[in-house]
Amino acid sequence: MLDLKQIRQQFDQVQAALSRRGVYDLSELRDLDQQQRELEGQRSQLQARSNEIGKTVGQQMRNGADPNGPEIQALRDEGNQVKAELAELEPRERDIKAQIEALLLALPNLPSDTTPNGKDETENVEIRRWGDEYLPANSESLKPHWEVGEALGIFNFERATKIAQSRFVALMGLGAALERAIFTFMLDRHTAHGYTEVMPPYLVNTASLTGSGQLPKFSEESFRCDRDDLWLSPTAEVPVTNLHRDEILPAESLPLHYCSYTPCFRREAGSYGRDTRGLIRLHQFNKVEMYKFVHPDTSEAEHQALVQDAEAILQALKLPYRVIELCTGDLGFSAIKTYDLEVWMPSSNSYREISSCSNCGDFQARRANIRFKTTGQKGTQYVHTLNGSGLAVGRTMAAILENYQQPDGSVKVPEVLQPYLKREWL
C-alpha cells in the first residue's frame, strides 16, 4: 500500500512515478483526502465544543446555578445540537475513509528509480546469460517435455482431468519421486545458506491475501472456499508475508530469511489457449519460495543476493538460463523492482520464466502492518519485504526433461539430484 502522507505531500512526484506503470489518476484520491481532512477538522471542533459545554454546565451547577434554569437549558440544547451534528458527520467521515482505503488498496507500488521504463514484456532488459556450454546440441530434434514424460509414464494428464479438470497433472512413479527430489534439493540448498524452512497453512484468509497484495486486484485468479473466509494459497509468499502481520520486530533480528515449499493454486484467468499442454501453466503446481524481511538500508543488496540464490539452483542443475530485468509495464503489482530468471526450453526454442525475484520495499509491510524498532530510538519503521521463487518445481522438471533427454527416449538425472533419486537415468 502506498503512503497516503507521501501522496499528500509529494503528489506530483507520486503521480509521475505511477504514470511510468500506466494510467493511474490520483485526483479522486486527493479530493477524498481533502474532504476527509476537512470533516476531521469539523469533527474535532464539534467534539471540543461538546466537551467545553459539558465542563461549563458542570461548573455553573457547582456554582449554584438552577439545573432547570434557562442558562443551563440553553447550554444543554446547544450540546444536543452539537451531538446531532456529530452523529451526522461521523458516518460521512467513515464512508470517505473507506473509499480512500479502497483506492489505496487498488494502487500498485511505485517502481524503483532504476527500474527501466517500458510498456510491456517486449521491453524487458536482458542482464546476463549463463550455461551456454550446457545448451543441447540437437535442440531441433528434442521432444517437448510432456511427450517425454508421457512416454516414460511419469505423469498423466488424462487421469488428472478425470479427478479434477484440465490443467492438472497426476505424477506417477518416478515422476512423483523426481518432483520430491527437486524440491528437497532446493530446500536443502536454501537452508544451508541460512534460510529458515517454514511449512505454512495452505489455506489463507482474506486479511493474508490483502496484506501480501493479492486482494482485491487478483481475486479472480484465486480459488475460494465459499463457506469460510479461506482461499487456496496462490503462492507461499502469501502465508510467509503474514507470519509477522501486525508485529513490531526488534531491529537486531533483521534480516529474517525464510524458505517454504508449498503447492500453489491459480485459476490462470485470461490465459486460456496459452501453454495448454505440459507443466508450464497448471492450476496446481509446487514451488519453493524464498522470502526476506529486511532493514530498508540493506534492501537492494538483499535483493541481489536473493537473485543469486535462485541462480545457484539452476547452476547446480546445469540448466541454461538468462536474467531479465522487468520494465515498468511488466512489473508485478507489489514490486518496485523485479528480476526474472528464464530457463532454456529446447522444444520452444526459447527461454521461459522459472523464477521471479522481487523487492517490494515497504508496500506489503504497510498493508500487513509489519514494522521494526531500533533499541534506544523512538518510533518504528516498516520493514522491506523481498520474495523469489527458488524455484518453480514443475517448470524445473519440465526443463530437466527437455534439456537432459537422450536420443533413446531416456532422461539423464542431473548429478546433484542423483543422491536424492538414487538413480542416474529415468
Contact partners, residue 290, CB within 8 Å, separation at least 6: 190, 195, 257, 258, 259, 306, 309, 310, 357, 387, 388, 389, 390
Using the structure block, give the residue that is written with the C-alpha cell 524487458.
124
d(CA 386, CA 294): 8
Instruction: Say how far apart CA 268 and CA 282 lie, in whole Å.
Output: 8
Active-site annotation holder among 325, 371, 395, 402: 395
Q: Which of 299, 334, 355, 356 is catalytic?
A: 356
The catalytic residue among 20, 266, 352, 371 is 266
Which residues are bridge partners to 292 per DSSP?
257, 386
Q: Is 126 a catalytic residue?
A: no
Based on the residue annotation, tell me whether 266 is a catalytic residue of this protein: yes
Q: List all residues 6 or more positions away from 257 whose beta carbon is below 8 Å from its beta carbon.
A: 194, 195, 196, 290, 291, 292
Residue 78: active-site member: no
Catalytic residue among 43, 267, 353, 410: 353
Contact 46, 82 (CB under 8 A): yes
Residue by residue, DSSP assigns 225-273 as ETTTTEEE-S-THHHHHGGGTTEEEEGGG--EEEEEEEEEE---TT-TT
Taking alpha carbons only, the member of 157, 405, 387, 173 closest to residue 281 is 157
H helices within 107-234, ranges in order? 145-152, 157-163, 174-192, 206-212
Which residue among the candidates 76, 180, 281, 322 is catalytic per the annotation? 281
Residue 395 among the catalytic residues: yes
Give yes or no: 268 in active site: no
C-alpha cell at 233: 494459497
**Distinct helix (H) and strand (E) counts, the chain:** 13, 16
Query: Cα(403)–Cα(274) distance, rounded to whole angstroms?
Result: 22
Give the residue numbers marked as catalytic.
266, 281, 353, 356, 395
